[in-house]
Structure 1
Amino acid sequence: MALLVDFTVFNPDAGLRVDWEWHRQHSMTTWEKHGASKERIEFCDRILRSSGIADNSAALPEWLQPDKSAEPKTDSVHSGREARMVQGQCIAELLFKTGIEPEQVDILVTNCSIYCPVPSMASMLVNMFGLREDVEAYHLGGMGCSMGVVGLNLVRDLLAARPNSIALFVTNEVVTAGFYLGDRKEALVTNALFRMGGAAAILTNRPSWRLRAKYALAHVNRVHTGRFPRAYSCLNLEPDEEGHNGIVLTKDLPSEAALCLNKAIARAAPRVMTWRQYGEAAAHFARDFAAKASRRERPPAYQPDFTQCADHFLIHAGGYAILQAIKKGLRLPAEKMMPAFVTLRDYGNTSSSSTWYTLAYIESCEGVRANQKIMQIGVGGGMKAGVAIWRALRGFTDAHPAWAHLGGRRQVEAQLPRPITVDYESRYDARAAVEAQEKLRAAPRRPEAERISFEPAKEPRRLNVRSWRDVSRTDAGDWWRRPPGQPLAEGEGEGEGEGERGAAAQAAAGVQRGAEARPAPEAAGAEAEEPAAAAAAEAPLAAAEAGAFAALEEASPAAKPSAARSVQVLAVAADDM
């Protein structure tokens, strides 16, 4: 059985957020000078306004934003920068969060549809994080938006072939490589919908890790309808008349995606149906057989109530129309669709990682109870569709940094750019949102035994030093920009793996370097100010040193290497003070 230990999603910095309204008023003339026609900009604007994406939330690289780049850059160099930024942050945060060392990873599976460099993206991550020489590394390209779910099938099979192993699953899409520079409307839709995003997950089949894992993979299946010409050609990467490559979406895409997804869900439904639904299905089969034998009109196909089959639904946030079609096909209420619509609002279409953003929202704002079933649904070009069924092993809430801006508050329909079922007076009806929030607070509370705790999980972890936002982000802006293969600086990485003594020596050396590198107070001025200035300068260094050694003492023996790395980060932060 495959266990999901933990996962992380990419949390873009504020500088990567796109304020489309500001761009519309100030920056579009910049791109018009470089060949972007006014019709192209207006078409993308119409698509964006009807897409369900907020004007100032989703992220794009700086070299694709009009106010930060004179012209869009889509070359392989900038594509590689985006890949290292997204995947590097996700994996670094995940390893820090779980306390797993890169040398412990046995299987690596990466996915990116459009950007397929040489060496592969899997090799890039092996180089960045120093994975073992015998690691099984695979990179999958051209798999589309379904890979975030379909890839779990491959990971499960690889774990079944290697008992007692740890697998690292990384999925994202590089929007730089897929940004379209032409005027073909079928390809311009992706410019308005796709945004930066990525996810990384640790899966294992070690029985001893069951107590620390979040979910167990109960079932996963996939369907591929590529043998039909319409399904195969409804989504393509092809050049236009001027030679600009772009992802072309045809009019057959919604119908083919619905057909493929229907087949995948039909295969997964018997795995999650209740006993009562089994009885209803048997009675329906008997009525259908009798109608067929008597040549009467046959009843419509039986479809179970999926709200009785699963507690949460992770649906690919491909766009407003796609989510509405899935909602109608599965007959889901608005509250079950809310996580997917919130993901679309705040992060746009992040391709294969969108379902993981939805799961992060559920963990952060709604909470998960033990034994709840989670249905993860993905669909992408080819056509391919996948359905994964997860079972929660314990009840918890996990505050993901990507959803920290919500403060753990559940969202309501009035806070969406486009409503799910109700037409509000404006795109953001503040009054309706306040009324809905008050109604939610006034709802009868569950008994104390069933109430979800919004405190962090109390289960022991191998490493619990500080949060990623407090520690790991301090050097994330530098290390992922380092070119692949560049050697470490002198003294960097010394003492790693030597236990507590090596980590303490690193921390002491880092703090000492910070003290030596700190400039002396200026001689000019009153001499009485020098002791106060020196004391003020020593305070943050002393605090960093004390926090580093306290964290090292609290770490378990198995987590000493990870604690040593955390102390290195604190030492670097002290140097920068």
Structure 2
Amino acid sequence: MPRPVYLVDFSVYKPPDEMKMNYNQAYTLSRQWKECVDDNHEFISKVFQRSGISPTESYLPPWVNPATCKEPKYDMDSAKKEAEMVMGGAVADLLEKTGTRPDEIDILVTNCSIYCPTPSLCSLLVNKFKFRPETQTYHLGGMGCGNGVMALSLLRDLLQARPNVKALFVPAEIVTYCFYPGLQKDYMVANAIFRMGGAAILLSNQARYYSTAKYELLHNVRAHTGQDDGAYTCMGWGPDKKGVNGVYLRKDVPVQAAKALEVCLRRLAPSIITWGQYAEAARNLFERRVLGWQVPEYIPDFTKCIDHFALHAGGYAVLKGLMAAMRLPTEKMLPSFATLRDYGNTSCSTTWYVLGYMETCQGIGRGETVMQIGMGGGMKAGINVWRALREVKNVHPAWRHVAHAPVTEADLPRPINDPEAAAAAVPAGDIAAAVKASFGADFKATTAVAAH
């Protein structure tokens, strides 16, 4: 019999207020950087203004924040300082609030796609918190934004293999090392939307947590479409034409991401839909296959079988595409758009910020389910479905500023139902078309949003 996987608790990192990125200030000060070229400066500005990120709320580390540095520093030493701050801060907060000692951790998994030093980020945390010598450690690199979700399959398998253990998962992307100082536009979008953040998640298969843990993992599915050359090459980290490293994104990123997600949804749907939806699907199949009727393929209404949705807040376009494709109402999208507003694209940790917002501002009832969706380069996609084991309502420090005044659509820098967004006109269920259409006329200028 499979062992249960309990999510005991989690923390999302709240950077110091002095690291907030003020757009107007940054727009002026960054012009003084030697890397700044007027045309590219305006390009980044345009991407940011359409991104759905607040001009005053998101965070940048001091080494690449125009308000705190005369010139950006994106070297390994500066990146290490950010990693210690973000990952160490998230872990310290989690251990404190769960009353967990470092010597109780049996498995440690870190995830950072681009900054992969030697010794590893696992070793950094082992040294900082003095985890036991026999702690089983793994670092996951190059996996993209979706691995904050997809890595749960590895953690689930580790917890199946080892009884009575605790596992610590720490996803973060180190923005300092992602900074692109070059001049090629398809590499520059990351500078506009990547922001500082990370998470720490405590998992266990110990039976005693059934009554105290927040959630139990019900389903975990993932897909890798890298067999296709287009999916494999649509995004990555590497040199531009002049040899300067950065995150590059091709124009077909949203379509490739949507294809990977569609594979996951098709695999997951039979496990979560209601009996009534099974009947609707059977009738649709009979009409198309037996009667030969020209009717659209059945797409389930996911709100009938899932209570909450934590979607990767990579940018306005991808959230609009997911909203249209999955037929999600505005109220189900607000936590993801609120995360985008206040924290920007924190890569692999975005869905954990979304879940933190839900717990702070909405609460999750006992027995309610949460669908967590991530996508990243490769191309890869993953979905986790969690069930709340108890009433969950607690204030995360990262969301204390909105605990008594939850975000509404009117508070967003770009409304969810923006008439300029074309995704709403796409037929529900056409995931690839919905994600692509959400970019509209500015497709090339906002390509990165779907991948990160």
- TM value normalised by structure 2: 0.91
Q: How does 1:235-384 map to 2 (within 5 A)?
A: 235-291=235-291, 296-384=292-380
1:206 corresponding residue in structure 2: 206
Q: How does 1:3-402 map to 2 (within 5 A)?
A: 3-25=6-28, 27-31=29-33, 34-291=34-291, 296-402=292-398
Instruction: State how far apart, in whole Å, the 1-side matches of 2:41 and 2:363 are.
Output: 40
Contact 1:168–1:201 under 8 Å retained in 2: yes
Distance 1:422 1:191, change over 3 A: closer
Instruction: State how far apart, in whole Å, the 1-side matches of 2:15 and 2:163 are.
Output: 36
Instruction: State how far apart, in whole Å, the 2-side matches of 1:266 and 1:191 are.
Output: 34
Instruction: State how far apart, in whole Å, the 1-side matches of 2:138 and 2:368 are.
Output: 32
Instruction: State how far apart, in whole Å, the 2-side matches of 1:400 and 1:117 are.
Output: 30
Instruction: State how far apart, in whole Å, the 1-side matches of 2:65 and 2:208 are.
Output: 47
Deviation at 1:260, TM superposition (A): 0.7
Contact 2:87–2:199 under 8 Å retained in 1: yes
1:7-65 Cα offsets, whole Å, 9 max, x none, are: 0001011111000112223x13321xx13111121111000000000101111111112
- Structure 2: any 5+ residue segments left out of the alignment? 421-452
Contact 1:146–1:386 under 8 Å retained in 2: yes
Instruction: State how far apart, in whole Å, the 2-side matches of 1:420 and 1:67 are.
Output: 30
Deviation at 1:299, TM superposition (A): 2.6
SS in 1 for 2:290: helix
Instruction: State how far apart, in whole Å, the 2-side matches of 1:29 and 1:410 are.
Output: 35
SS in 2 for 1:115: coil
SS in 1 for 2:364: coil
Instruction: State how far apart, in whole Å, the 1-side matches of 2:295 and 2:122 are.
Output: 50
Instruction: State how far apart, in whole Å, the 1-side matches of 2:132 and 2:238 are.
Output: 38
Deviation at 1:278, TM superposition (A): 1.1
Deviates more, 1:329-338 or 1:280-289: 280-289
Instruction: State how far apart, in whole Å, the 1-side matches of 2:418 and 2:245 are.
Output: 39
2:439 corresponding residue in structure 1: none
Pick 1 or 2: higher relative contact order, CA cutoff 8 A, min separation 6. Answer: 2
Q: How does 1:526-537 map to 2 (within 5 A)?
A: none
Contact 1:30–1:66 under 8 Å retained in 2: no
Task: Tell me which amino acid in the other structure corresponds to 1:5.
Answer: V
1:133-184 Cα offsets, whole Å, 9 max, x none, are: 1111000000001101100000000000001100001100001111100111
Task: Tell me which amino acid in the other structure corresponds to 2:20.
Answer: R
Instruction: State how far apart, in whole Å, the 1-side matches of 2:237 and 2:47 are.
Output: 20
1:494-515 Cα offsets, whole Å, 9 max, x none, are: xxxxxxxxxxxxxxxxxxxxxx
1:410 corresponding residue in structure 2: 406
Contact 2:374–2:383 under 8 Å retained in 1: yes
Contact 2:21–2:67 under 8 Å retained in 1: no
Instruction: State how far apart, in whole Å, the 1-side matches of 2:124 and 2:88 are.
Output: 10
Contact 2:6–2:210 under 8 Å retained in 1: yes
Instruction: State how far apart, in whole Å, the 2-side matches of 1:326 and 1:290 are.
Output: 31
2:442 corresponding residue in structure 1: none
Task: Tell me which amino acid in the other structure corresponds to 2:30.
Answer: M
1:203-244 Cα offsets, whole Å, 9 max, x none, are: 000011111100000010100000000000111212122221
Instruction: State how far apart, in whole Å, the 1-side matches of 2:143 and 2:353 are.
Output: 19
- TM value normalised by structure 1: 0.71
Deviation at 1:297, TM superposition (A): 4.9
Deviation at 1:67, TM superposition (A): 2.8
Deviation at 1:423, TM superposition (A): 5.3
Contact 1:79–1:174 under 8 Å retained in 2: yes
Aligned CA RMSD, in angstroms, stands at: 1.2
1:467 corresponding residue in structure 2: none
Contact 2:25–2:67 under 8 Å retained in 1: no
Task: Tell me which amino acid in the other structure corresponds to 2:378.
Answer: G
Contact 1:171–1:198 under 8 Å retained in 2: yes
Deviation at 1:422, TM superposition (A): 4.9
Instruction: State how far apart, in whole Å, the 1-side matches of 2:146 and 2:35 are.
Output: 33
Q: How does 1:473-492 map to 2 (within 5 A)?
A: none
Task: Tell me which amino acid in the other structure corresponds to 1:4.
Answer: L
Instruction: State how far apart, in whole Å, the 2-side matches of 1:422 and 1:198 are.
Output: 29
Instruction: State how far apart, in whole Å, the 2-side matches of 1:66 and 1:396 are.
Output: 39
1:115-139 Cα offsets, whole Å, 9 max, x none, are: 0000111111111111111111000
Contact 2:31–2:41 under 8 Å retained in 1: no
SS in 1 for 2:188: helix
Identity of matched residues, % = 48
Instruction: State how far apart, in whole Å, the 2-side matches of 1:165 and 1:196 are.
Output: 31
Q: Which has the larger radius of gyration?
A: 1
Instruction: State how far apart, in whole Å, the 2-side matches of 1:94 and 1:131 are.
Output: 15
Instruction: State how far apart, in whole Å, the 1-side matches of 2:31 and 2:171 are.
Output: 35
SS in 1 for 2:63: helix
Contact 1:114–1:178 under 8 Å retained in 2: yes
